[in-house]
Structure 1
């Protein structure tokens, strides 16, 4: 495929999912004899495009419309030929991650067996589309949400895929009902101890003694915020303290793990209602 993605997660080093956006890719063939990851392709071309597709157990010709989703499992063969310019989003999801999430949810996938989502052509699934869109928006915003935000979305996507399309989709997960006070305290203490670092979802889950697959829901029920939202809010609270004490905007951004001053600026104004410099001036 000689055309290049207009946006890609490669520049951010995402490890558990790779996301790319493609626009107006010229008519051609795309063939992968054995997919290394679970593959999700979301068609975004405004007009219908004629396609011919092959996968393990499937061979057919049809029309790909905006919003159609193709879902393939790792290890599958994937072939597609299209007759007009094609736009799409591609997500490659790590099999190691989905196996890990299945184990955390206590889904009976069988000893030594891997998750299989089957093969789905021109699927409609609003949840997949929405989560992919959130990930794509984060890419276009320069990774504004950070690692914790991406981790949370990828776990949510994995849980949805497992329950709706996975081999264990007919089974209910063993779900803890809430975070007990000791678990919540462990999570909050960890966040505050490492507020200036690039905290991961797994780190917080380990501190709370709960699986990362359950943490997002339980944390939000306990605090009213998703983990990444809570971390950002606490960083902004700390930023306010440091600015009042005389630290520069550049120093605050660097010390609290923001990628640059503009990253701090965007979150600060969204939460506080004014820019960092306007906030400093209010105390003079």
Structure 2
């Protein structure tokens, strides 16, 4: 396998999820006797490729098509041999995160091991879409920020747990809404730290709600995800700073945007004009 993938999250400092993408890898074998994390592989080769695969409890051959997904649980053996050039995305999802999210959602009894089974060449459009968004964020150099990545990673983990996890014990009812006091505290925290690259865990702590529940409850209460709300409020504050005469590059730095083009992109997406066009219009 090539030493350097065409896409890699390694430089972004992600801890609970690693993403790599390879293109047109020549026919060969890939083998891991015991996976350290849960493994998700999404095939992306335009043409079907004949593959032979082995995992704990599975041995067989077939044809991998674009969008086919393999899921293996941590601790499993993973083996694949392919007979034509293969393109794919690989995600390693930490057991620490899946254990944490499962506990927050109360899907398992305390101490239960999480097993996603061994799913070979399955079809799941939600996984494909979320992984595509994560890949695009890696390709942009993490432009979406920690909150965006955290939210996507949590959404992916929750989906995997609900659809492919093997819970033991009874599933409890999820919280239905965030109360007014919790919401007020959350919004106050966001506004106090708009200049920071906020994470989902930080906002959840201010809300006294688990990160796994926060995205759904926050959107139910505000109509926006935490990430969408944070960007909206950053742009509102940017308008005030621009009206006050602050240059766009300073506004971007003060509000925690990665650079001026990051501010420009979100500003135009939400308001329909660039920061410069906005300033010229109010003069």
- Give the TM interval when normalised to the shorter protein: over 0.9
Q: How many residues align?
A: 283
Q: Secondary structure at the match of 2:92?
A: strand
Within a 5 Å distance, the mapping from 1:111-126 to structure 2 comes to: 111=111, 113-126=112-125
Superposed, which structure 2 residues align to 1:71-220 within 5 Å?
Answer: 71-111=71-111, 113-168=112-167, 171-220=170-219
Distance in 2 (alpha carbons) for counterparts of 1:108 and 1:72: 19
Distance 2:118 2:280 in 1: 58
Please report the RMSD computed on the Cα atoms of aligned residues, expressed in angstroms.
1.4
Shift of 1:283: 2.3
* Deviation of 1:135 (Å): 1.1
Rounded Cα–Cα distance in structure 1 between residues aligned with 2:43 and 2:254: 41
Q: Cα distance 1:169–1:68, how it changes in 2: closer, same or farther (>3 A)?
A: farther
> Which digits, 9 at most, give the CA deviation of each residue in 1:58-96, with x for residues without a partner?
111111111111000111111111111001111111110
2: CA distance between counterparts of 1:13 and 1:54? 31
The answer to whether the Cα contact below 8 Å between 2:101 and 2:158 also exists between their aligned partners in 1 is: yes
| Structure 1 length-normalised TM | 0.96
Deviation string for 1:179-201 (max 9, x for gaps)? 10001011101101111001111
* Residue 192 to residue 143, structure 1, CA distance change in 2 (3 Å): same
Deviation of 1:269 (Å): 0.7
The one-character-per-residue Cα deviations of 1:126-155 (angstroms, maximum 9, x if unpaired) are 111111111112223332321111111111
The SS at the match of 1:36 is coil
Give secondary structure in 2 for the equivalent of 1:217.
Answer: helix
SS in structure 2 at match of 1:282: helix
1:25-52 Cα shifts (integer Å, max 9, x gaps): 1111111111111100001111110111
Offset, 1:170 = 8.3
Judge conservation of contact 1:205–1:211 (CA < 8 Å) in 2.
Answer: yes
Q: 1:83 to 1:203 in 2, by over 3 A?
A: same
Rounded Cα–Cα distance in structure 1 between residues aligned with 2:255 and 2:282? 21
* 1:191-270 map, 5 Å: 191-270=190-269
Q: 2:48 & 2:169 partners in 1: Cα distance?
A: 34
- Partner Cα separation in structure 1 for residue 162 and residue 110 of structure 2: 16
| In structure 2, distance between residues paired with 1:32 and 1:252 | 48
